[in-house]
Every structure is written in C-alpha cells, then in structure tokens.
Amino acid sequence: MEMLNTEKSRSFYEEAIDHVPMGVNSNYRLVLNYPLYLKRGKGSKVWDVDGNEYIDFNMAYGAMEVGYGNPLIVNEVVKTVEEGSILGFEYCKAIELAKIIKKRYNVDMVRFSSTGTEATMHSIRIARAYSRKKKIIKFEGHYHGSHDQLLVNVDPEKSMVKLPSSEGIPEEVIKNTLIAEWNNLESFEKIIRENKDIGAVIMEPIAMNMGLIPPDKDFLKGVVELSRENNITVIFDEIKTGGKSFSGASDYVEVEPDIKVIGKSIAGGLPLSVIAGKREVMSILNSGRVAHGGTFNANPLSVRAAIVTLEKILTENAFYKMKRLNRMLTRGYNDIIEDLSLEASISSLAISGTIYFHNKVPKNYSEFLNVDVEKWRNYFSKMMGRGIIPMADYDEQWTLSIAHDEKDIENHLTIAENTLKEIKSL
C-alpha cells in the first residue's frame, strides 16, 4: 500500500528545531524521526500540514473523547469568550461543576487546577499535610506528571533500581520518594515495614503508562487496607482513568481512595484538572496554611466546557456506544493476531486498549520491559503512513471517542491486518 507523503511535516520540523528544542513542545510528541504537524481536526479525524487525513485513535492522549470540533463545546466556548474567558475572581459556575463532579465521582469536596501535573503535585502536598508525614510511595512505570518528586522510575532501563526519569532532578528531591512494584503486594508491604514516615501512596488505579495493565483486585484492596492501617493517604491518579468510564476507575475497582485526581477528557479539550476527595482530607486546605493556587484555576472557559461535557456529551449512553466500539476493535485485533500466529497480545478495558509485541500482557514494569519496542515503532510508522493514528505511543493506548463509528473501526482493522502481515513477514 502506498504511504502518505509527509514532507511538509519534515520541513516544519527542520524549521522548528532552530526555535524550539527537539522541534516539539512536549518531548512525547517526537515518536518517530520527526513529529506530525497537524492543522485541524473534526470528529474522529485530523489533517496534517500536507493535507493528509487520518482517523485518530490517539485523540490527544485521551483528552478528546468529545470528538474534535464538537458543536456543543464550540458554542459554549464562543459564548463564554464573549462574557470573559478569565475574570480574576471566583467564577460562579464553578460551584455547579463541583456538584457534578461530587455526584459522578463519589467525592466530598473538590479543588480545580489546570493540568494533571499541577493536580498530582498539589495532591501530594495535601496528603503530606493531612498525614503529617513526608515520604511517598509510587509504583514503577506509573506516570504522574513532570514534577520532580514523582518523575522517578517512570521508564527506567532496569527495573526496581531507583532512578529519576530526567536529568536536573537532585537526589535530595527524590530521597523521600519510595518505589514499589505494581501488582506485587509483598513489595508494598516491605516498604511499609522498613519505613515509618510514609504519608502518601499515589497510583494509577489502572496502569496506563505501561500500555494498559489493570490491577489484581486483591493487590489493590491490599494496598488500600495496609495504607489505612498505617495512616497513609491513598491517592488515585485518574487523570486518564477518570474519563475512560462514566465514573472513572470506580466502575471497575472495588475500593475508594482518599484523594482522586481527575483530568484529560472531562473538559472537552480545554485544560482542567480536579483534586477531589474525602471531606476530612480536603478540609486541610481550610486553614489557608496549605498552598494551592493558580491564575487559571476554575476559569470560565474550562468550567463551562466541563459542565457541557459531563452533563450533555459524555453520558452513560455515550459510554455504552464507545465501549461497544472498543470491544469490536479489540476482537478484531485478537482475531488478526490469532490468524497470523503473531507474537503479540492485546489489553483492553472500557474505551481504551493497546497492542503489546510480546506473547502475553505484562503484569508490571519488569515484564513490560520484554515488549519489542522496535517492532511497535515499525507498526506505528506503517499505520500512520496509511492514514490511521492507532494510539499514542508504545507505552500508551488507543482511545475511542463519541465521534468514532463502525466504519472507523473497520478501516483501522483493515489497515492493521495488512500492516501486521508485513511485520510478520520481516
């Protein structure tokens, strides 16, 4: 099959690298030799600067479940801009959104921020202030934004050796960050036994930065129970999972944390994150001695877009449709893998899934290291060259939106079958 011409993207990249480090404004966008420079999106599709059309299953790393150019969002944004996109004081409709979040995600109180990085950073501060202890446990392979104290063992080359995931992070900053292995309760128990000053544990309740790795139910229950016994504040980072099902991870896991951090898809493509949790934990902010601020927190654009998104677009019926399409895509991939006897596996849940170029779905980061990344890059490059953005990156997943339809799924699977046949023959 003929591959799409992306010479203008290459040209944009060659110009950009003189002005922007790496030619991108987020390191994660440089997946191949040069990034795709996009011009516009509508529904389930995006168009690049060369005029090529792609069916998008990345959907802005899961942020665009409402579909590109959703008319309900567009109309609300236009009205809001006319009334003032930011007002400098508390916005009256933020209370309405807080009530919606409380009911939908089963929390007592909320605070709004703009990005996931901000929200996880502040959630750690709140948890430490509440527990009055300084150490944090995170799980290897989990990503919680790009602030120093949690940018540790996100993607180390060797498992369970404590390593910052970026230069420029001093040892002193991460000495209170402890690393546990996902789906290994003994690893978590051992850390608690050996450390008496643990104030918080943070995790993605469904790991979505190693592809897609659900927790063993007994493991997650055990982590929460041990935390409660040892006065450790439990934080679920639901920046991704908060939008994967109607009520986020609560639809799949049987335990509730002390704090939930929600973001990505909930504001229809505008920047909004939420720190939400139990009243006794969130009330630590009432003293005014625990810092949480931000000029763009609860700005009118994001608040009104979120109200429309949660009340009118990402409804229970919408999730029913998206989950049905995801089952269709998952079955199709599994059939192709079986028919081709390909050494690959699929992990899928709710409206997302991923392909691992390995014969089984990993249970943790050490197993994730067995995935054939070069084979994935070959697959990704060929899929992109044929007009399908299959997912975000090898450690990410695909996302369905309300704009996708059965034809999109059929086209995806047709291209995937041809691509995987080629990879099998190499």
Whether 261 is covered by a domain: the verdict is: yes
Structural domain ending residue among the three candidates 275, 292, 313: 313
86 and 211 housed in the same domain: yes
Whether 214 is covered by a domain: the verdict is: yes
Whether 1 is covered by a domain: the verdict is: no
152 and 269 housed in the same domain: yes
CB 346 within 8 A of CB 333: yes
77 and 160 housed in the same domain: yes
370 and 335 housed in the same domain: yes
Instruction: Say which CATH number the domain at 389 has.
Output: 3.90.1150.10
**Global pTM?**
0.96
Amino acid (1-letter code) at residue 416: A
Per-residue pLDDT tens listing for the chain (426 residues): 678 999 999 999 999 999 999 999 988 888 888 899 999 999 999 999 999 999 999 999 999 999 999 999 999 999 999 999 999 999 999 999 999 999 999 999 999 999 999 999 999 999 999 999 999 999 999 999 999 999 999 998 888 889 999 999 999 999 999 999 999 999 999 999 999 899 999 999 999 999 999 999 899 999 999 999 999 999 999 999 999 999 999 999 989 999 999 999 999 999 999 999 999 999 999 999 999 999 999 999 999 999 999 999 999 999 999 999 999 999 999 999 999 999 999 999 999 999 999 999 999 999 999 999 999 999 999 999 999 999 999 999 999 999 999 999 999 999 999 999 999 887
What pLDDT digit, counting tens, does each position of 241-277 carry? 999 999 999 999 989 999 999 999 999 999 999 999 9
Q: What's the domain range around 224? A: 71-313
CB 174 within 8 A of CB 161: no
Instruction: Say which CATH number the domain at 211 has.
Output: 3.40.640.10
18 and 116 housed in the same domain: no
92 and 50 housed in the same domain: no
Structural domain ending residue among the three candidates 261, 292, 313: 313
308 and 337 housed in the same domain: no
Structural domain ending residue among the three candidates 313, 341, 373: 313
How many independent structural domains does the chain possess?
2
272 and 172 housed in the same domain: yes
